[in-house]
Amino acid sequence: MTAAAFALVVTAAVIHAVWNLVAKRAGGGLVFVWLFAAAGSLLYAPLAAAVAAWQRPHIGAAQLAFIAGTAALHLAYFLLLQRGYRLGDLSLVYPLARGTGPILATAAAVAFLGEHPGPVALAGTGLIGGGIMLLATSGAAWRRPGAGRAALYALLTGVFIAAYTLWDKRAVTAAAIPPVLLDWGGNVGRVALLAPAAFARRATVPGVWRRHRREILLVAALSPLSYILVLSAMTFTAVSYVAPAREISILIGALMGVHLLNEGDRGRRVAAAGAMAAGLIALAVG
């Protein structure tokens, strides 16, 4: 992995962990997802317009199909993740969801995209996966009410992470969609797809906005930024390197769960930190 890709992915990981902490504290829900998608669409519209004017990309039927697909896949991801957060601890849901995704994405990239990561990089992926499993098998988190259902939603979230990672890799490479436009178009698509459900719950929208306005705006600003950085890395780096490396955000999220949400089990997290840090170094040099 190049230094530029490494810097993009690690920066994205930190931002990703922060917005997930914010979303967990807010409690989530469909209306919350719709509001931050709408706010993100407005916030990033000037940047998307500037990129379109500067790069003048070709946006034809194939590109629109990729944008529609990313909107649907990311919508399923956000809704499943928010449901998991409402049922279980951040330190359970986040590692399971984020850990399942890159393992599946890496396997699929090797099988279907013809990628061939070297042995050092594969060892790094294994170390990160081991660290994830240490975090996800925390006894304290599993003893919480609703932990089993939360884990199921987390695993389903991971499946959609793998799906949108592979889909979006093709979108920014084969279809040549600029990362900013892909993410912004996906956000607009999510707003449209969720609009009927949000309208049906329109009586609750003002209350969610009043209670969680700060969280909505933070997620609206940070979630697209973190993924735009990942998409930028994927324009010149293989999925089998980017997908595992970005999961260093799991460690950050788990530590936030311990120190900010009082979710416990510090010793396990120290061991997981060591494994994941070693894995990240292996990916960087492999």
Average pLDDT over residues 1-29: 83
**pLDDT reported for residue 149:** 86
> Which has the higher per-residue pLDDT, 286 or 99?
99
Please, are residues 242 and 6 in contact by the beta-carbon 8 Å criterion?
no
Distance CA 102, CA 241 (A): 9
For the record, the structure tokens of 116 come out as: 């061939």
**pLDDT reported for residue 278:** 73
pLDDT digits (tens, 9 = 90+) for 27-70: 778 899 899 999 999 999 999 999 999 999 999 999 999 999 99
Question: Which long-range contacts link 200-207 to residues 24+ away (Cβ below 8 Å)?
Answer: 201/30, 201/31, 204/31, 205/31, 205/35
Supply the DSSP string of 212-248, one letter for each residue: HHHHHHHHHHHHHHHHHHHHHHHTTS-HHHHHHHTTH
* AA letter at 35: L
Please, are residues 78 and 33 in contact by the beta-carbon 8 Å criterion?
yes
Helix axes 90-112, 3-26, angle to 10 degrees: 140
**pLDDT reported for residue 286:** 58
Distance CA 218, CA 100 (A): 26
For the question of whether the overall pTM of this predicted structure is more than 0.75, the answer is: yes
Expressed as residue numbers, the domain containing 22 is 3-285
Q: How many structural domains is the chain composed of?
A: 1
Spatial CB neighbours of 136, under 8 Å, sequence gap ≥ 6: 92, 95, 96, 99, 151
